[in-house]
Amino acid sequence: MEKLEMLYEGKAKKVYKTDDPNYYWIEYKDDATAFNGEKKGTIVDKGIVNNKMSALLFKMLEEKGVPTHFESLVNDREQIVKAVKILPLEVIVRNVAAGSLAKRLGLEEGTPMKKTVLEFCYKNDELGDPMVNDDHIFAMDFATELQLETIKHYAYKVNELLKAFFIKRGLKLIDFKLEFGVYEGKVILADEISPDTCRLWDAETNKKMDKDRFRRDLGDVEAVYQEVLGRIQG
């Protein structure tokens, strides 16, 4: 496959066309942002960690029956994915209260919850990704009823698969964000799964092993990204 012109540059990735209209070529960057782009920086080799980790996790999920956009790795920083049309929703899955939920409800981070919580945000940087409910999603046509039902089904399934996967590697999956796209009329998992998009705490010590180290200036950022990749590669 051939890498053609850049279609889009996001905060963490560049998306290129290929000579096959069914596939995109993704390049993962080391650029890091937080608080809706207010905080900017670099996490050295983050692009390599996130590229490899997403590839490994998407492959595992696909094998367990979750359709994903992942096709193949090109090199340390690049991968080929199906050319999906991304639905304008961020799907947040929460197992333990943390981050914006802890803040919103006045809970201490780490507070257990009686059930898994799904949240949806409208993907729009100018608006700061506002939270929306099912009615907003249908009213604004962000997704159809059938698409949302499929998204919820896959989101819970991905959660169960990831929780089991990570705990075997000594990591607790606190929360994470998914994005879905439409390919050949079907909803499939897209974007990435990495320490940028998950909260992962060490199972023994509760050490934060994710982008919160960058967001909150906790130090050790690069080492922790490498540690997570090392653990999941086994």
E-strand ranges in the chain read 3-9, 13-18, 23-28, 31-34, 39-42, 70-73, 78-82, 85-86, 89-96, 112-122, 131-132, 171-183, 186-190, 198-202
State the Cα–Cα distance between residues 10 and 98, nearest whole angstrom.
Answer: 25
Return the residue of 29, 77, 172, 177 that touches ligand UDP, per CB under 6 A: 177
Q: Which stretch binds ligand UDP (CB under 6 A): 39-47, 97-105, 139-147, 217-225?
A: 97-105
Please report how close the Cβ of residue 35 comes to ligand UDP at its closest, in angstroms. Answer: 7
Contact flag: residue 88 with ligand UDP (CB under 6 A):
no
Please report how close the Cβ of residue 38 comes to ligand UDP at its closest, in angstroms. Answer: 11
- Chain positions 114 to 173 lying near ligand UDP, rule: CB under 6 A, are 129
Please report how close the Cβ of residue 1 comes to ligand UDP at its closest, in angstroms. Answer: 28
Contact flag: residue 198 with ligand UDP (CB under 6 A):
yes
Three-state DSSP at 125 gives: helix
Return the residue of 173, 211, 224, 225 that touches ligand UDP, per CB under 6 A: 211
Of residues 23 and 97, the one with the C-beta less far from ligand UDP: 97
Contacting residues for 32 by C-beta, under 8 A, at least 6 apart: 12, 40, 41, 42, 43, 46, 196, 211, 214
- Chain positions 10 to 49 lying near ligand UDP, rule: CB under 6 A, are none
Shortest-Cβ-distance residue relative to ligand UDP: 99
User: Can you give the length of the chain in residues?
Assistant: 234
Of residues 92 and 148, the one with the C-beta less far from ligand UDP: 92
Neighbours of 54 (CB within 10 A): 25
Question: How buried is residue 55: exposed, middle or buried, by Cβ count under 10 Å (0-12/13-18/19+)?
Answer: buried
Of residues 71 and 90, the one with the C-beta less far from ligand UDP: 90
Three-state DSSP at 99 gives: helix
User: Is beta strand 186-190 parallel, antiparallel or unpaired with respect to 171-183?
Assistant: antiparallel
Of residues 109 and 222, the one with the C-beta less far from ligand UDP: 109
Please report how close the Cβ of residue 172 comes to ligand UDP at its closest, in angstroms. Answer: 12
For residue 45, which of 222, 210, 212 has the smallest C-alpha distance?
222
Q: Which residues contribute to the site for ligand UDP (CB under 6 A)?
A: 90, 92, 99-101, 129, 175-177, 197-199, 211
